[in-house]
Structure 1
Amino acid sequence: MRWIAGLGNPGTAYQGTRHNVGFMVIDELAKRWGINVTQSKCKALIGEGNVQGTKVFLIKPMTYMNLSGESVRSFLDYYKGEIADGVIVYDDLDTEIGKLRLRYQGSAGGHNGIKSLIQHLGTQTFDRVRMGISRPQPGKNIADYVLSPFPKSEQQQLAEMISAACDALEFRLKAPFEETMAKFNR
């Protein structure tokens, strides 16, 4: 069994915002793999399917970003899942727009969703795909920035980044994460 959790905020007000790039990746994987992410369970919307002979769960926590760990922990407890079988996908201010950074451990780096995951999983060691959203201009409020939509000028980079993330996550179904990092970190 493999699972992929994309972090974001529920509701139409947050659709298309920088903080919801994790949800965007889950939506694209669901489309690619023909999985409906509509089952409400474990404080999340969950979809289950079979991809390349592997049972896969796609997870969109509905707890809002700052409590994402509650949902992922609930999923792992309910399905008897292992942290090592999953990947977390989320936005990263410290990575340039359009770039991916795959890591298997690290601190929250100021990201409240990751802080919640570390708290509820009891470890900083879990596979993650950090989606670059760049930092705002100096003096601009970070909360306003991450909750704003991507401008037209970044739409092409966003689409390419989401596609690359999906390619990496598909590769990860059959390969170790270290090999996935070597192939997809740019």
Structure 2
Amino acid sequence: MHIICGLGNPGEEYEHTRHNAGFDSVDALAEELRVNYWKNECGALTAKTTYKGEDLLLVKPQGFMNTSGGPLKKVCQAYSATADDVIVIHDELDIDPGTIRVKHGGGLAGHNGLKSIADKLQTKDWTRIRVGIGRPPGRMSVVDWVLGRPKKDGWDDFVQGTHLASEAALFYLESGLEKTQQRFN
């Protein structure tokens, strides 16, 4: 069982904000795989599917970003999964909009969702697909930027990034980390 977990905040007010790049990526993946049934379990929305014979569980934790680790840990326990089975898709300030980066392990870059996951899984060693959202312009606060919705050209970049992330998740399952990094980084 592979778990693909998109990070975001629940609720209409957060839909399609930069901070919900993980949710939007998992939604794009669900659309690609024709998943339309979501179940509420372990504090997350989950959807089971398969891809090329592999069992997949799509996950969107329903607590706020900084508590994402609790639901993900419960899902891992319920499905006897480990951090090695997990791919986390999240927003990243230090990557240009419309692009992604894939890595395994590493730092948390001040991302509260990643901090929560590292705390609850007791490791930083899981695969991450980082969706670029860029830095806020001028003196805009980071909080206002990440909780804002992209406008016009920024929207196209945002959608491109989330679709690349969903594509990279499937490619990773087929080809592994190194080839995925070569193709997407």
Give TM class, smaller chain.
over 0.9
CA distance in 2 between counterparts of 1:180 and 1:80 reads: 26
Using the TM superposition, give the Cα deviation of residue 168 of structure 1 relative to its aligned residue in structure 2, in angstroms: 0.9
1:45 aligns with 2:45: yes
Q: Deviations for 1:20-78, whole angstroms, at most 9, x for unmatched residues?
A: 01000111111110113520001100000111111110000001100001111010111
Compute the TM-score of the two structures, normalised by the length of structure 2: 0.96
Q: Specify the code of the residue in structure 2 equivalent to 1:18.
A: R
Q: Measured at CA, do residues 172 and 37 of structure 1 come closer, stay the same or move farther in structure 2, by a change above 3 Å?
A: farther
Q: Which runs of 4+ in 1 moved over 2 A?
A: none
Deviation for aligned residue 1:159: 2.2
Tell whether the 8 Å contact from 2:30 to 2:36 is kept in structure 1 after alignment.
yes
Q: What per-residue deviation string (whole Å, max 9, x for no partner) do you get for residues 125-172 of structure 1? A: 110001000010242111111100011121222222222212111111
Instruction: Write the letter of the residue equivalent to 2:86.
Output: G
Whether the aligned pair in 2 keeps the contact of 1:43 and 1:63 (CA below 8 Å) is: yes
Q: CA RMSD in A?
A: 1.1
Normalised to the residue count of structure 1, the TM-score between the two structures is 0.95
Contact in 2 for aligned 1:43/1:62 (Cα 8 Å): yes
Q: CA deviation at 1:181?
A: 1.5
Query: Partner residue of 2:6?
Result: 6
What are the residue-to-residue correspondences of 1:5-154 with 2, within 5 Å?
Answer: 5-36=5-36, 38-154=38-154
Contact in 2 for aligned 1:39/1:45 (Cα 8 Å)? yes
Instruction: Give SS of 1:174's match.
Output: helix
Confirm or deny: 8 A CA contact 1:30 1:37 kept in the other structure: no
Unaligned stretches of 5+ residues in structure 2: none
Match of 1:161 in 2: 161
**Identity score, percent:** 35
Distance 1:182 1:85 in 2: 21
Aligned residues: 185
